Structure 1
Amino acid sequence: MAEEKKSRGSARERLLAAANELFYAEGVNSVSIDRVIEHAGVAKASLYNTYGSKEELVRAYLKDRHARTRERMARELQTRYRTPRERLVGVFEIQGLAFTEPDFRGCAFVTASAESEAGKAVQQATEEYRIWVRSLFLDLAYAAQAPQPEALAKRLVLLYDGAGISSWMDHDPSVADASRDVAQGLVDAAFAQ
């Protein structure tokens, strides 16, 4: 058994994997630190030596999800779409890939933000993610030379948020198709001005 735990990665990696699985499925406040430790198969001292507190583990979990989301989005946008204008709509197709995953439970950042206290590390991590989402659309709108890039980006962010919530709460992955169609309409309308 000890050899099996050892082969699964370092204590840091196992704690982060356990946090990712449990926090995403059940929420950051409802999962105790003892459950994360047990699920990771590490000693309690490992958690405190590695992260210092549950709040810092939650922040690390969110930063890790953010990094993976950002990397996937950048990779997929670059390989699937040729122009910034295509990428503005492509974001919704890439977002929709998550909607079909069996464990999809909506946006981890929305959930964590709803459970966090103002001024805490978790709130900072969720705010960093939001800055990235807004920047993603704004940068693409500018690169596409949209006539009013800020207005278009704001509308697309709203659609992005709504698509994730709708797909999760309605258990309907086809929301990805609808959001992509609406995004295409918004982009076409923005360039028709």
Structure 2
Amino acid sequence: MSTGSETAGRGSKRRDIQGLTPAGVKILEAASRLLYEQGIRAVGVEAIAEEAGVTKKTLYDCFGSKEGLIVAYLRARDDRWRSTLVKHIDGHEGPPGQKLLATFDALRNWTRERNPRGCAFINAYVELPDDHPGHEVAREQKAWLFAYLKDLATEARAEDPEALAGQLLILHEGVCVAHSMQSVDRAADRAERMAAILIEHAAGHPLTRT
């Protein structure tokens, strides 16, 4: 049986930006800021090139098209979130049930620091046409998170790890939406309390409080 960390490790090492030129790195960094903060449709390649301090030709030489740059942006953000989550969980001391709960602590920090406009993958899924390759990146990200939560649920000896992972994934998504819309105060805290009840029920015993 693979552990959550193993699943995450495989995914987080799958893609990187090491093959980019220095100009390519600057373009990707600029695109990552602008596409997330302003929206994919609202930002053109001219604005990204200007922000990065390069020409449009350099942008196209590095990424081929705006479509290719969007995919690179989503993949880089996916890798960053995977790395952040896995590092947080691997550094968490406690039983497996507490590690599941700790995913909400990682999400709380992520939403405060990097996710004010909600989930980048949901945003992209809504903005992009159905045949855009960015859709597949977004689906892969959610599939990875589900598998990671399922592995942690299996370690916690949940009666039905798949069902618990689905419930926790829904809570994760709800936190991102509620935080970005400011529709619920302290959304991550509330979701974490609900998650504790679900984890305890699935594992058949109370969580060890830390």
TM-score w.r.t. structure 2 length?
0.83
Give the Cα–Cα distance (whole angstroms) in 1 for the partners of residues 190 and 151 of structure 2: 23
State whether structure 2 residue 46 is matched by structure 1 residue 34: yes
1:29-54 deviation per Cα after TM superposition (whole angstroms, max 9, x unaligned): 11111100110110111111110010
Give the Cα–Cα distance (whole angstroms) in 1 for the partners of residues 183 and 100 of structure 2: 25
Of 108, 112, 116, the residue aligned with 1:96 is 108
Task: Give the letter aligned to residue 84 of structure 1.
Answer: P
The answer to whether the Cα contact below 8 Å between 2:156 and 2:203 also exists between their aligned partners in 1 is: no
State whether structure 2 residue 128 is matched by structure 1 residue 116: yes
The answer to whether the Cα contact below 8 Å between 2:119 and 2:177 also exists between their aligned partners in 1 is: yes
Please state which structure has a larger fraction of its residues in helix: 1
Give the Cα–Cα distance (whole angstroms) in 2 for the partners of residues 131 and 33 of structure 1: 30
Gaps of 5+ in 2: 1-20, 206-210
Of 146, 149, 174, the residue aligned with 1:134 is 146
Q: Which moved more, 1:174-183 or 1:164-173?
A: 164-173
Q: How does 1:73-84 map to 2 (within 5 A)?
A: 73-84=85-96
Instruction: Flag the structure with more relative contact order, 1 or 2, with Cα contacts below 8 A and sequence separation at least 6.
Output: 2
Size of the aligned set, in residue pairs, is: 185
| Structure 1 consecutive aligned stretches of length 4 or more whose deviation exceeds 6 Å | none
Gaps of 5+ in 1: 1-8
SS of the residue corresponding to residue 105 of structure 1 reads coil
1:148-173 deviation per Cα after TM superposition (whole angstroms, max 9, x unaligned): 11111111111110011101101766
The answer to whether the Cα contact below 8 Å between 2:107 and 2:188 also exists between their aligned partners in 1 is: yes
Give the Cα–Cα distance (whole angstroms) in 2 for the partners of residues 142 and 71 of structure 1: 21
Identity of aligned residues (%): 31
Match in the other structure for 1:4? none
Of 50, 55, 58, the residue aligned with 1:46 is 58
Give the Cα–Cα distance (whole angstroms) in 2 for the partners of residues 13 and 171 of structure 1: 36
Match in the other structure for 1:183? 195
Distance apart, 1:12 and its partner CA: 0.7
Q: Cα–Cα, structure 1 residues 115 and 83, in superposed 2: closer, same or farther, change >3 Å? A: same
Task: Give the letter aligned to residue 74 of structure 1.
Answer: V
Distance apart, 1:103 and its partner CA: 6.5
Match in the other structure for 2:14? none
Match in the other structure for 1:18? 30
Give the Cα–Cα distance (whole angstroms) in 2 for the partners of residues 102 and 85 of structure 1: 26
- CA RMSD in angstroms, aligned pairs only: 1.7
